[in-house]
Structure 1
C-alpha cells in the first residue's frame, strides 16, 4: 500500500473526472435509451468510490512521502494536475445533485453536493493562483513548451461555475442565492479570460513551432473542456436563477443564447482540428499516440462539451442541440470504454501503477500529459 501511495499524484484524479462526468451525462441524457439511468448510477457510484480511494492514497503520499509530494510543485508537468484534483471534487459533487438526489435522501444528496462544491471552489482557487504563479516565477519553460495541459490549473473555477449554476436556488435565502449567483459569475469570468490567454499561447505554439509530439496529442482535446463549461454556465443560470432574479432573466437568457451558441461553434471547430491532429499521428506521417493517463483528455473535455450542449438544448429547446448532444454522448461513450480499458490494463501490467514489488524493477515511468 505504501508503494502504491507513493505513485498516486494528482494526475490520477483525471480518472475520477472522466468516470464522474460519464455518470452525470448518461443519467441526464435528453434522449433516453435502455439502462441509461442504471449506467449513470453505476458510473456515479464508481466515480465516488474512486474519488475516496484516490484522496486516501494521495493523502497517504503526503504523509509518508512528503518530499516527493512537495517536488510535484517544482515539476512543470506534474504541478498542472492540481487542477485535476479540484475538478474531480466538483464533478462528483455535481453528480450528487444530478444522480445522487434520485438514489439517497434528497436533502442528504443536496448537502453533499453543496459541501463538495465549496471544497472544490477552495481547491480551484488554490490551483488557479498557485500553479500559474509557479509557472511565472520558478518553472523553466519556453513558448515551444505550450500545450493544452497548461489549461488544467486554470480551468477549475469555470468547472465550479458550471456545476454551481445547478444548485443556485438551494442555498436557503434569496439574498444568499443572489450572492452565490454573483460569485458563480465571477468564477466563470476568472477562468474564461485566462482560458483565452492560454489558448492564444497554445495556438501560437501550434502555428510557429514543430508538430506536437504523439504522446502529447491527447492534450489538444483539453481546449473544448472550458468551452463546454462556459456554455453550461451561460445557459444554466437563466434557468436556475429565475425565482430570485426575475428582472434579469430576459437579459441573462439573451446572453446565454448568444454566448453559448457562439461557443458551441468554436467547440465544434476545435473538435474537428483535434480529431484531424489525432488521425495525423495515427497515420504514417505521425508518431503514434502511446497510451498514458493523458488519454483521459479524450474523455473529460468531450464530456464537458457534451454537458454544455445539454445545457444549450435545455435553454433553447432546439432539435439541433438535442441531436448533437446524443451524438456527442455516443462518441464520448466509445472514448470512455477505450480509455478505461487502457487504464485497467496499465494498472494490471504495471505500466501505469506498479502494485507488486517485482513490478518496480524496469517499469518505465508514464507521464500523464
Structure 2
C-alpha cells in the first residue's frame, strides 16, 4: 500500500526507514501524556469499580512503553536530523512551544509508576523510577518554561495578536511537577528534604500560575477579536483547562503531603486548597463548555484529524484529578460525580485520538512537518 500525505502527495522520504523520524517533533509526547493521564485519573477516582485498577495498571504500562519507544525515536531524530531538531527548537515558534510536552510526559508516567507500578515492578523500583523521571522532568519543565518564552522574546518574530493556547504548554509544565512531586514526600528523609520538596512544589505552582495569567489575556484577545486561528488549532482550546485542573490538583496534593513536611501549615494549606480549587474548577467547567461547543462546530464543518486532537485528553484528565482531590478533601458527593463524568469523557477522547493517531501513523501522513499540519486552514 502506498503512503500518502493528507493532501494526497506521496511521502517519498518514508522510502528510507531513518527518514520516518525526520519530522517526529516534541508534539508526539502529547500521546504519552494523554495515555498516562487515563491511568492516573483512574487511580485518583473516588469510586471503587471492579476492574478499574487493573485497567489503570494496563494503561500505565502502555504509557511507559510508549515513552520508552518515543525517547528512542527522538534519539534517532536528533542523531540523523539535527538540522530539523534545531529548527524546531530555535527558529519555529509554531513547534517550539511543544517542547513543553516532553517534561509533562516524563512527569505523568513517573507518577503512574509510583501509584500503579509497585505491583508490577516492585515498590523500590517504582520509587526510584518515579524519582528519576520527576527530577529529569522537573529540570526539563523549568528549562522549557523559561527558555521557550525567552526565544519568543529574543529570536521569534511574532505578530501582534498571534497568541494561541499552545503558548501555555511550556509554562504549564512546572505546574505538573508541582502537582506530582508531593507524592515523593513520604519517601524522603524527615526534616529539610521533605520541606524543601514541598515548598519547591509550591514555588513551581506560583511560577506556572502567574505565567499562565500573563498569557491568558493575549489568548483571549485573539479568540474574541483577533485573526481567526487555523481550524486544526481548535482542539487546543482545551489546553486552557490544563493549568486550571493541574493547579487544583497541585494545591490538593501539596495540602495532603503537608502533614509529613510542614505540619504547622497543614490546616492552612488544606483551607487554601478548597478555597482556591473550588472556584477554579467552576471556571474550568465553564471553559469546558465553551471549548466543547467550539470543537463541535469545527467538527461539523469538517475539521480534519491532527495531533492537536490529543489536547482533548490531558487537560480534561487534570480536571479529573482536580475534582477527585476536592472530593476527597471536602466529602462532597457532587464533586465525585463530576470526576466520574469527566473521566468517562476523557476515556472517550483518548480512544478516538488513539485510534486516529494509529491510523494516521500507518498511512504515513502524521510524519509530515508539524508546522505544515498546524498552518493548514
TM-score over 0.5 for the alignment?
A: yes
Determine which of 89, 107, 116 is the counterpart of 2:106.
89
Aligned positions of 1:308-319 closer than 5 A: 308-319=322-333
Asked if the contact 1:20/1:95 (under 8 Å) is kept, the reply is: yes
Aligned positions of 1:266-285 closer than 5 A: 266-283=283-300
Say which SS state the counterpart of residue 366 (structure 1) adopts.
helix
State the alpha-carbon separation in 2 of the partners of residues 299 and 244 from structure 1.
32
Asked if the contact 2:327/2:335 (under 8 Å) is kept, the reply is: yes
TM-score normalized with structure 1 length: 0.93
Asked if the contact 1:351/1:365 (under 8 Å) is kept, the reply is: no
What is the deviation of 1:7? 2.5
State the alpha-carbon separation in 1 of the partners of residues 336 and 233 from structure 2.
32
What is the deviation of 1:324? 0.4
State the alpha-carbon separation in 1 of the partners of residues 338 and 173 from structure 2.
25
What is the deviation of 1:104? 2.2
Question: Are 2:64 and 1:57 equivalent residues in the alignment?
Answer: no
What is the deviation of 1:33? 2.3
Determine which of 310, 315, 318 is the counterpart of 1:296.
310
The match for 2:186 is 169
Asked if the contact 1:236/1:315 (under 8 Å) is kept, the reply is: no
The match for 2:13 is none
The match for 2:8 is none
State the alpha-carbon separation in 2 of the partners of residues 67 and 282 from structure 1.
35
The match for 1:357 is none
Asked if the contact 1:228/1:267 (under 8 Å) is kept, the reply is: yes
The match for 2:55 is 39
Question: Are 2:76 and 1:69 equivalent residues in the alignment?
Answer: no
The match for 2:7 is none
Determine which of 19, 23, 26 is the counterpart of 1:3.
19
Question: Are 2:349 and 1:335 equivalent residues in the alignment?
Answer: yes
Aligned CA-pair RMSD: 1.9
The match for 2:33 is 17
What is the deviation of 1:365? 5.1
CA deviation string 1:81-109 (max 9, x = no partner): 11001101101011111211232211210
Say which SS state the counterpart of residue 31 (structure 1) adopts.
coil
State the alpha-carbon separation in 2 of the partners of residues 319 and 130 from structure 1.
42
Asked if the contact 2:306/2:373 (under 8 Å) is kept, the reply is: yes
CA deviation string 1:112-155 (max 9, x = no partner): 11111000011001101111011111112123321110101111
Asked if the contact 2:88/2:95 (under 8 Å) is kept, the reply is: yes
Asked if the contact 1:28/1:98 (under 8 Å) is kept, the reply is: no
What is the deviation of 1:227? 0.7
What is the deviation of 1:368? 9.3
Question: Are 2:285 and 1:252 equivalent residues in the alignment?
Answer: no
Asked if the contact 1:224/1:305 (under 8 Å) is kept, the reply is: yes
The match for 2:42 is 26
Question: Which stretch has the larger CA shift, 345-354 or 267-276?
Answer: 345-354
Asked if the contact 1:27/1:39 (under 8 Å) is kept, the reply is: no
Question: Which stretch has the larger CA shift, 305-314 or 76-85?
Answer: 305-314
State the alpha-carbon separation in 1 of the partners of residues 235 and 63 from structure 2.
22
Question: Which stretch has the larger CA shift, 169-178 or 340-349?
Answer: 169-178
